[in-house]
Chains A and B, each alone.
Chain A
Amino acid sequence: MDKKKRRLISRTIILLLLGAALVFALYTNFTKDKNDSLGKGSDAPNFVLTDMKGNEHKLSDYKGKGVFLNFWGTYCKPCEYEMPYMEHQYQNYKDQGVEVLAVNVGESDYAVDNFITKHDLTFPVMIDQGREVENAYRVDILPVTFLIDKEGKVIDIITGALTEESIQKHMERIKP
């Protein structure tokens, strides 16, 4: 009788382990695409970049403030689409503790300057010349926006163009 019980227990344990491995395999397969990007709730990787006006911006200096971190390129239509809305909402929220940082994915000063002039952007725009920040944030598709709260945590990642309404909603979420 005892022997039988022991056998049942060992069988149960082995099957549970194998079942868990199988579930793990299926689960990771489903979340494979997300695995490669930065997870929600993780610490936003720190970086330092100089904007077009020559001011240095270090992410860790913005602790206590919400950061609306946007990656973009001049050739990317949806990026261009959301820029005016970002500018508009920046005006509303800059005094409420939300900072907008727009990181260009390594284009020329010429292209970025032209773009700023064209859209009258006042928030800090910086060029990630060495693609290092892009690598750290594992940027794949443009535009992508990282919502960073006052603790320096990434609370959400949004790919694709944003409407003015959704930008406002997101700013609300990271407002300290």
Chain B
Amino acid sequence: MKEVKCDCGHVNPFGTKICGKCGMDLGSEQENKLIDMRYEGSARRSQTYRKTVIDKIWNFFSSVKVGVTLIVIALVASAIGTILPQEMYIPSTVTPAEHYESEYGWFGKVYYELGFHNLYSSWWYLLIIGMLGISLLVASIDRFFPLYRSLKKQGVIRHDGFMKRQRIYGVTKLDEQDIDLDKVKTELKRQRYHIREEKGHILAEKNRFSRWGPYVNHIGLIIFLIGALLRSVPGMYIDKVVWLREGERKEIPGTNGEYYLKNNEFTLEVYDKGNKEDQQYTAAIDKTGTIAKTYQSDVTLYERKGEAIPGEKVGLEKVKDYKIKVNEPLKHDHYALYQVDYKLDELSTMSFNLINKKTNEKFGGVKIDLNDPKKNYQLNKGYSVDLISYFPDFEFDEKGEPRTISKIPNNPAFIFKMHTPDKPEGEVSFVAIKETAEPLGENTYKMAFNGVETQDVTALTVRKDLTLWILFTGGIIFMVGVVQGSYWNHRRIWIKRKQDEIVMAGHTNKNWHGIKRDIKKAIESTSLSEPKDQLEEEKSSTKGEALNG
């Protein structure tokens, strides 16, 4: 592991392929006509030390081949995950196992068994992404420092071999005439090249910063991944849903009782071709039917005053009124409330009249609050109704007994006992939507349905995500880096003055068209001959066959 001393006197680290100062080829291979300018031929650290386990792991992650392989694996895995809908998009009424098999047959079953229904949070997918992140960082560290050093140390005077083996290369014989390079220099300066001169030789260089673009964008990506990682730290991320009936006020879950929200009104608006401003959509409405225009919850946000423990009466202070729509969440104190779902016309009250079945004579009515019914309702004098049982979401169970499957009044059913002067013991009647039964024999009276009242319910997602700004910063840094590396390119032009000739060579990391244009412009007013693109010559000599194909 010795350092390499070049003929020019510069000492290069072990593994260097091209002398950092003069560009002489230090490697033994000279098969290719053109020099390999990647990373300036500097000694990449991973290539140099490969003794310990740590070094081996390091080298593994530093390799571009490994990096690209990881990208391709991630790409294929991501694609597999889109073949069937992921678990989060399937209906929650059946278990995933049943769903995949019943919907997609054996293929769905295999898909589920392999764990592809939850692919993006599977351990192996995360592992690939994580390894990609490691590779990003290690490969960047491994390349950035040597490249930085060699570009900083580069010399003006380059070895003849280095010049000759550049893609853009040209020699102008002097033949008694002398060529004034000052004109070239001025023109290059005008083109924003930085000029360094040594003993009459010139190095013109511009946009070196674009070489840092890849490293900047990798840093951005790493910050983004760190942001994504921090999301699982407690307190950084909250994701809850709250259902609110119209007029209802509740604690906002996830806020530790700090905030309360009241739903004043929910509105669903649809496009109406009778409406003047929606007329242009007539054809589309006719074709599709109803198209929603707005989902909106008019809410009031309250903040708790002082400390209180859950269940205790709290003092609330109004913060603000807001109209939450899709695309217009209510934001306050790191929390955001989004319109995500709704339920129209949930039953809120039901009214009945007590009547005589034969004469249809009324003896008063009851209005039952479906979310807070009472045990007993007094009607006209001498008439009353007991509510024996109430099933807000009624169905018959396996034994044929009535039960409720939730507390939401989706399908209310009642068992009433009607007390009347002629039947003081009471008659029992079972009343559900579109069905009545008289389990204890024929009755004289009945509870006749007399209308309902409904209310809308809105569903809001409560979200707090403190990692957003980290993700955003990462994204911006990535964009800066990728633009820096793509929209600018690092161009260098070497001009070496010899006794009877002037040698010119040019290099750029991309956009050869651009550097050729620069050179052409710079030498326009001189008698310097235009350097040739050696790659193109090589191509035309092989009659257009692909060079690397």
Chain A interfacial positions (CB closer than 8 Å to B): 4, 7-8, 11-12, 14-15, 18-19, 21-22, 24-26, 28-30, 32, 35, 45-49, 58, 73-75, 77, 105-111, 113-114, 128, 130-133, 135-136
Q: By the criterion CB–CB under 8 Å, are B123 and A108 in contact?
A: no
Give the residue of B45, B137, B257, B375 whose beta carbon is less than 8 angstroms from that of A136: B257
Q: Do A26 and B372 form a contact, CB below 8 Å, given A18-B134, A35-B234?
A: no
Using known A-B contacts A15-B58, A132-B251, determine if residue A110 contacts B387 with beta carbons closer than 8 Å.
yes
Q: Sorted from nearest, which 6 A-B pairs have the closest CB atoms? A: A28-B232, A132-B310, A22-B130, A47-B310, A49-B311, A47-B311
Contacts of B141 in A (CB 8 A): 14
A-B contact pairs, 14 of them (CB 8 A): A4-B49, A8-B54, A8-B55, A14-B141, A28-B232, A29-B126, A46-B310, A48-B309, A75-B405, A77-B403, A106-B407, A111-B390, A135-B253, A135-B254
User: Which of A19, A105, A131 contacts B251, CB < 8 Å?
Assistant: A131
Contact present for B130 and A25 (CB under 8 Å): yes
- Are A45 and B310 in contact, CB atoms less than 8 angstroms apart? yes
Chain A CB count within 10 A is highest, among B127, B256, B311, B387, for B311
Contacts of B49 in A (CB 8 A): 4, 7-8
Q: Which residues of A contact B73 (CB under 8 A)?
A: none
Which residues of chain A are within 8 angstroms of B134 by Cβ–Cβ distance?
Answer: 15, 18-19, 22
1/0 per residue, CB under 8 A from A, across B378-410: the answer is: 000000000101101100000000011111000
Min CB–CB distance B270 → chain A (angstroms): 32
A133 proximity list for chain B (CB < 8 A): 310-311
Indicate which residue in A32, A74, A131 contacts B250 across the interface (CB closer than 8 Å): A131
Docked CA distance A8–B403 (Å): 70
Bound: A74/B311 CA distance, A: 20
Contact A110 B250 (CB under 8 A): no
Residue of B nearest to A103 (CB): B311
Once the chains bind, are A21 and B311 in contact (CB under 8 Å)?
no
Among B45, B133, B234, B404, which residue has its beta carbon within 8 angstroms of that of A74? B404
Give the chain B neighbours of A4 by CB distance below 8 A.
49
Given contacts A28-B232, A29-B123, A45-B310, contact A12 B251 (CB under 8 A): no
Assembled-state Cα–Cα distance A74/B134 (Å): 52
Q: Which B residues between 121 and 151 are near A, CB-CB below 8 angstroms? A: 121, 123, 126-127, 130-131, 133-134, 137-138, 141
Which residue on A lies nearest to B387, using beta carbons? A110
Name the interface residues of B57-80: CB closer than 8 Å to any CB of A: 57-58
**Chain A neighbourhood of B256, CB < 8 A:** 136
Which residues of chain B are near A24, meaning CB under 8 Å? 229, 232
B311 touches A128 (CB 8 A): yes
Question: Cβ of B372 and Cβ of A25 under 8 Å apart?
Answer: no
Contact of A47 among B250, B251, B309 (CB under 8 A): B309
Residues of chain A within 8 A of B405, CB atoms compared: 75
- CB neighbours (8 Å) of B180 from chain A are none
Docked complex Cα distance between A26 and B125 (Å): 10
- Chain A residues with Cβ below 8 Å from B521 are none
Asked if residues B55 and A25 are in contact (CB atoms below 8 Å), the reply is no
Chain A nearest CB, measured from B260 CB (Å): 9
Q: Which residues of B contact A110 (CB under 8 A)?
A: 372-375, 387, 390
- Closest residue of chain A to B389 (Cβ to Cβ) is A114
Residues on B with C-beta less than 8 A from A26 are 123, 126-127, 130
- B240: nearest chain-A partner, CB-CB: A135
B371 at interface by CB-CB < 8 Å = yes
Chain A residues lying within 8 Å of B312, measured Cβ to Cβ, are 47-48
Interface residues of B in 271-315 (CB under 8 A from A): 309-312
